[in-house]
């Protein structure tokens, strides 16, 4: 059965390769390139953003996870097992994105007291598998964040606590990057904001700027650690005002030469994030791209192969932005199998990137320069029915992971043998 399937995939790929060659596209080169792209899988999809602090506080900060699908990870070992299963079903070598709340520390260790030793098992696990790790300070689900403010808080003592947490997080990330030999991206997202319109919109942003400047005062080798800042339009409880807006962080990132994190769910539903890439990357050396899927609002649905995801991938390829882009996922869905959610989202992103890499960009650019918009549109439409699936299956075969939807059988087996035993 396996041999028959492999022969079918090989035959389909040969035909697809020939079809793309007629357009001047090397399908084999595109396949090789997509298998070299690393995506950072977000650990919080596996346990509904609960973390391992033993906290009882609600998420807060505009975050909400819906659904109660059985089998959520309850311990670090269970979460790592789930990630191992997901990674085994995704072609290529990828990364894992940790939040500070996923530490393995004795009870009573506060967030501003965290050190590299509290992530030792994560580092050893990643090193054994040849994975990179990324990191996030956790500015939510804490008694000092219950009123919706952290780094922009009016209370200097509260701000200082969160400043110390940010400093500790960067030191941890630098240690992770040094030990794994891969830069650890430290992404700062803070939930500070107001449900209703504030009178003073300036002062919180001034306080946030001062807090961030203190956090970033300590320099680190960019081979080990790089900083990113993530804006947001609104969240639950911050519908009218978010301190760290897109405009705020765009200015901060440019003036401080930090990575700007663009989260595809953090803008108005009618905004096209794909259109922002060429503008932002004119002024910044690199960006962090968090790929999510908002439905009506920033609802963090599992990523699917949508028109906007393809447009995003096309802009990354057409502008030669892939070498300057750190790719990661950011969603949490507890209404479906959580392991499957990782696999669906990552494979969808990689398919979109493969679609873009199989585009005859030089030919399309030539049509555009000649003002031959008829030929440009006709070719773009024909590309939509080209045999992407055959090249994708060949890439999965080359990476020794399941093709098509056959990966779901392994997730089903894992659910029956492992996840179902979790009460």
Task: Supply the residues annotated as catalytic.
Answer: 189, 230, 232, 263, 266, 290, 298, 300, 330
The one-character DSSP state at 225 is: E
Q: Please choose, from the candidates 229, 240, 235, the residue with its C-alpha nearest in 3D space to the C-alpha of residue 298.
A: 235
Tokens of 246: 């897109």
DSSP code of residue 296: S
Minimal CA–CA distance to 92: which of 169, 19, 33, 149? 33
Give the whole-angstrom CA distance, residue 347 versus residue 354.
10
Radius of gyration of the chain (CA): 22
Q: How many other CB atoms are found less than 10 A from the CB of residue 349?
A: 24
Any idea of the CA torsion for 158, 164, 165, 171, to the nearest 10 degrees? 170
What does the DSSP 8-state code read for residue 302?
Answer: P
Q: Tokens for 214?
A: 């203190």
Q: How many CA atoms lie within 13 A of 35 on its CB side?
A: 18
CA 149 to chain centre: 24
Give residue for tokens 């995506």.
39
Alpha helix ranges (H) inside 181-270: 202-215, 246-256
Strand pairing report for 241-242 and 193-194:
antiparallel
Any idea which residue has 């399908």 for tokens?
A: 27
CA-CA-CA-CA torsion sign (308, 365, 321, 352): positive
The CA distance from 394 to 377, in Å, is 28
Structural contact between residues 87 and 41, judged by C-beta atoms closer than 8 angstroms: yes
Contact 302, 18 (CB under 8 A): no
């Amino acid at each position: 059965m396996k041999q028959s399937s492999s022969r079918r995939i090989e035959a389909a790929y040969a035909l697809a390769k020939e079809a793309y060659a007629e357009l001047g596209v090397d399908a084999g080169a595109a396949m090789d390139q997509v298998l070299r792209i690393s995506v950072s899988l977000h650990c919080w999809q596996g346990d509904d953003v609960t973390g391992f602090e033993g906290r009882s506080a609600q998420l807060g900060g505009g975050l909400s996870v819906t659904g109660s699908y059985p089998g959520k990870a309850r311990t670090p070992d269970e979460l790592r097992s789930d990630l191992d299963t997901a990674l085994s079903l995704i072609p290529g070598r990828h990364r894992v994105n940790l939040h500070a709340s996923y530490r393995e520390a004795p009870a009573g260790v506060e967030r501003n007291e965290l050190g590299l030793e509290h992530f030792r098992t994560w580092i050893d696990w990643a090193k054994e598998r040849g994975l990179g790790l990324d990191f996030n300070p956790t500015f939510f689900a804490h008694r000092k964040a219950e009123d919706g403010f952290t780094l922009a808080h009016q209370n200097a003592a509260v701000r200082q606590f969160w400043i110390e947490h940010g400093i500790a997080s960067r030191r941890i990330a630098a240690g992770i990057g040094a030990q794994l030999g891969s830069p650890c991206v430290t992404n700062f997202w803070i939930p500070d904001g107001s449900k209703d319109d504030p009178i003073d919109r300036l002062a919180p942003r001034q306080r946030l700027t001062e807090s961030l400047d203190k956090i970033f005062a300590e320099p680190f080798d960019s081979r080990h650690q790089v900083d990113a800042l993530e804006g947001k339009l609104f969240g639950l409880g911050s519908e009218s005002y978010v301190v760290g807006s897109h405009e705020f962080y765009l200015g901060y990132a440019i003036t401080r030469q930090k990575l700007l994190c663009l989260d595809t769910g953090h803008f108005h539903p009618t905004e096209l994030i794909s259109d922002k890439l060429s503008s932002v990357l004119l002024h910044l050396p690199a960006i962090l791209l968090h790929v999510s899927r908002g439905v009506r609002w920033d609802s963090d649905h599992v990523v699917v192969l949508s028109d906007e995801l393809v447009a995003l991938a096309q802009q990354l390829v057409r502008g030669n932005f892939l070498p300057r882009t750190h790719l990661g996922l950011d969603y949490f869905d507890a209404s479906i199998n959580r392991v499957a959610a990782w696999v669906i989202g990552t494979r969808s992103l990689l398919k979109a990137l493969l679609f873009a890499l199989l585009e005859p960009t030089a030919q399309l650019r030539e049509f555009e320069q000649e003002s031959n918009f008829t030929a440009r549109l006709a070719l773009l439409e024909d590309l939509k029915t080209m045999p992407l699936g055959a090249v994708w299956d060949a890439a999965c075969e080359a990476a020794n992971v399941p093709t098509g939807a056959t990966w779901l059988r392994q997730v089903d087996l894992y659910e029956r043998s492992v996840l179902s035993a979790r009460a």
